[in-house]
Structure 1
């Protein structure tokens, strides 16, 4: 393995000749364990060009290190770190001098410390992971995804792998979304009305940045998607949380002064409520009445194993005021980070420009791999397999919950991959989740989904996309037993 030439640099305040500085730089790298036995150093020519010194200076430094047994020479192959060099067993970065920067003053805007739901990195090690949004590796089509990735690496697709798309996206992926994905939701859109994003969350952020400012008001669902509420709190805008009911967001609660309405009508997050068709029409009428935009987060519509989903708000919109957000994170994998946003061309033009200023575009290779996986039919096959598995797990969940007397506060009419639960009054779901860790059970406390000062503590979410069907009954029993131990 070769040591990258970019690893080397001369310190502006270093003492001694250039040769001595180069010797010291390499010796320190070996002594600190950054350069390991057998690793090849850059050629004297490359290192000289990189450092801006003469080649003879580098050659003399290498020769001195060779004589001190820090380096060894292998004929015309070059210089390598010697086996006799005093290399420590592992690399330990040197202690830094005490920083003098006042970060409390230097940081102008804070993004940490928000109320976010963090999933343990070792969730796979738990026996009963009732967590939402993770992928069951037994359901993912590894073989065909690998074949599509290899095909996307081929010479034919070299441009999609290496080119800078600037503000554009992979045309094959855009075409598939326009011709196959969106029509399933009753949506027609031209390529210039579609933008690829790094998942639904990135799409929501882009929409919020373009549609909101300090004079405008956003209406959000309560409880609702916690990342959206945290995102909006950090924008110069006003926020109105609206309490949802069994049918989702009530249109008559939307204030007159609202500029943007954020809603998840297919599977409300986190209650999974499905907004009926009549309410969808009423919400569109209300938005038209007050001249508000609607951002429709349709993140989970593919998981409609219990029946055909209701028409999207975007498909019912005749004004062009609905911005539609979709994602492949739940149906393929959350780590893929491929989503899309659909809207009228003037809106997409601004979102496209904003995306270019921040991340330019999602990686071309990922886009092309996804395009092949979708267009070759592997995606539809996986959706059918995942839907069948989720249906079985949902049935096992509901059966076990009924047997142990737990309460479901919300379930998606057409499917989904989670249940919204309510514990008896007096139960703190954070404390409940802490107690369940000892039994290798993971649940998601619900307080993070609520906005306002009086956030209830008895709600929690149970996902079933990551837990095997045969583990469900035991995991639910453990939850029931832990709940009974609370003093009511």
Structure 2
């Protein structure tokens, strides 16, 4: 790779001769890691013309760097960064100036410091990654996704690839969601009531921004998806955690004055509890009595390999007060970042305008690729393959858990991709996770899912979508062996 001549500049206030300045500029680029071993430098003529100096000045600088083994010469090919040059492994540019800004005063809204934990980027290198929400590449249909992507890049779909939809979405994707995806959840919706989002979290953010503010109150499940509490904090609303039980969110515990209820009735996050039909009706009645809205996150409904799931809460809504959130991130792959909002046309109109002011729309070529993958039947085929694999992993996981006497605190009635676990009394699962990580086992401590300062420390989540079936028993044995080391 050649180093662009445009990356070289002489500082107006630099000291020393032009030759020494050029030498220092190149040496600094190598020492900082900006220039890599084997990369070709601009010719002396091009660099001299770019810098406005004589060619002999550049040639002398190159010759001196060649003598010091920073550069090497390859006959008539030019000068290259030497293989023996002291290049650091990671590029870490030094600041050009001192930061004198008081950022504590300059920043008016803070988005750091929430409960969202950081998952290891190298999770796939662990032998036993009981990590939730990551994709197993062996279960994904790469071949047909590639075919759909190539089709979306073709001349026929040039407009979908290159056009600015402004605040619109790909009509093929919206049509598939309206005609095929939503009816499976018992939901009927027109295109004007559907908005494509950058995953479920973006959908939740849009809903929170539109519905909440400093004078409003939101109920969230406790425990719940930790990122939801973080984004609700940005609205400055009053967030009221309501502890879930074996059937999910208890409607009678939703306090008066509540404006918005966030819930996961089909597959509670993270306990996996499924809300019975009677309680769903009671929750709708409670929301009607309070004149509250409900935001239903219906994640993982596609992964129901133990039986057909109940219809979505949205399908039972006769007042238009339920806003439905769906996503393809869990069923296809997390990096796709495509989800959707379904709600009354008046709500979607405002959500569309808010989305357009932030990111216009999700990339058109990704929407069109997903539309082809869905409409050509590849998605359903993949769901069947995933269901079969997850069912086998679930059986292996529950069998190993039983053999080692571990305790399941929650398991999805219809399937899913995780189990909610309770450790023995006195075990701190954050400490347990640290011990296990050094042994190539990943689990998710449960504390970040809970609200408030006194978070229970004895829960943890085991995801099984990203671990091969043959490694599950060995990983569970490792967890059982490490538990005594995590006693408080």
Q: TM-score range by the shorter chain?
A: 0.7 to 0.9
Q: Which moved more, 1:355-364 or 1:130-139?
A: 355-364
Alignment match, 1:378: 378
- Give the deviation of 1:155 after TM superposition: 1.7
Using a 3 Å threshold, how does the CA distance of structure 1 residues 83 and 425 change in structure 2: closer, same or farther? closer
SS in structure 1 of the partner of residue 294 of structure 2: strand
Name stretches of at least 5 consecutive residues in structure 1 with no aligned partner. Answer: 48-55, 72-78
Is residue 477 of structure 2 the alignment partner of residue 480 of structure 1?
Answer: no
- Give the deviation of 1:62 after TM superposition: 7.7
Alignment match, 1:415: 415
Alignment match, 1:461: 461
> Structure 2 matches for 1:211-230, cutoff 5 A?
211-230=211-230
- Give the deviation of 1:482 after TM superposition: 1.5
SS in structure 2 of the partner of residue 138 of structure 1: helix
> Structure 2 matches for 1:292-331, cutoff 5 A?
292-331=292-331
CA distance in 1 between partners of 2:357 and 2:56 (Å): 48
Using a 3 Å threshold, how does the CA distance of structure 1 residues 315 and 84 change in structure 2: closer, same or farther? closer
CA distance in 2 between partners of 1:2 and 1:205 (Å): 43
Using a 3 Å threshold, how does the CA distance of structure 1 residues 138 and 62 change in structure 2: closer, same or farther? farther
CA distance in 2 between partners of 1:417 and 1:67 (Å): 63
Q: TM-score, normalised by structure 2?
A: 0.88
Q: Is the 8 A contact 2:187 2:314 kept in 1?
A: yes
| 1:434-466 Cα deviation digits (max 9, x unpaired) | 111232111100000001232110011000001
CA distance in 2 between partners of 1:386 and 1:150 (Å): 24
- Give the deviation of 1:25 after TM superposition: 8.1
- Give the deviation of 1:135 after TM superposition: 0.5
Alignment match, 2:179: 179
1:32 to 25, 29, 37: 29
Q: Is the 8 A contact 1:141 1:382 kept in 2?
A: yes
Alignment match, 1:444: 444
CA distance in 1 between partners of 2:6 and 2:305 (Å): 52
| 1:357-402 Cα deviation digits (max 9, x unpaired) | 1111111121111111111111111100001100111111111111
SS in structure 1 of the partner of residue 326 of structure 2: strand
CA distance in 2 between partners of 1:67 and 1:485 (Å): 65
Alignment match, 1:110: 110
CA distance in 1 between partners of 2:159 and 2:27 (Å): 39
Q: Is the 8 A contact 2:263 2:297 kept in 1?
A: yes
> Structure 2 matches for 1:160-171, cutoff 5 A?
160-171=160-171
Q: TM-score, normalised by structure 1?
A: 0.88
CA distance in 2 between partners of 1:136 and 1:456 (Å): 30
SS in structure 2 of the partner of residue 32 of structure 1: helix
Q: Is the 8 A contact 1:160 1:364 kept in 2?
A: yes
Name stretches of at least 5 consecutive residues in structure 2 with no aligned partner. Answer: 64-75
CA distance in 2 between partners of 1:320 and 1:9 (Å): 61
CA distance in 2 between partners of 1:330 and 1:39 (Å): 46
Q: Is the 8 A contact 2:197 2:203 kept in 1?
A: yes
Q: Is the 8 A contact 1:32 1:92 kept in 2?
A: no
> Structure 2 matches for 1:132-151, cutoff 5 A?
132-151=132-151
Alignment match, 1:53: none
Using a 3 Å threshold, how does the CA distance of structure 1 residues 269 and 69 change in structure 2: closer, same or farther? same
Q: How many residues align?
A: 466
- Give the deviation of 1:484 after TM superposition: 3.4
Q: Is the 8 A contact 1:444 1:460 kept in 2?
A: yes
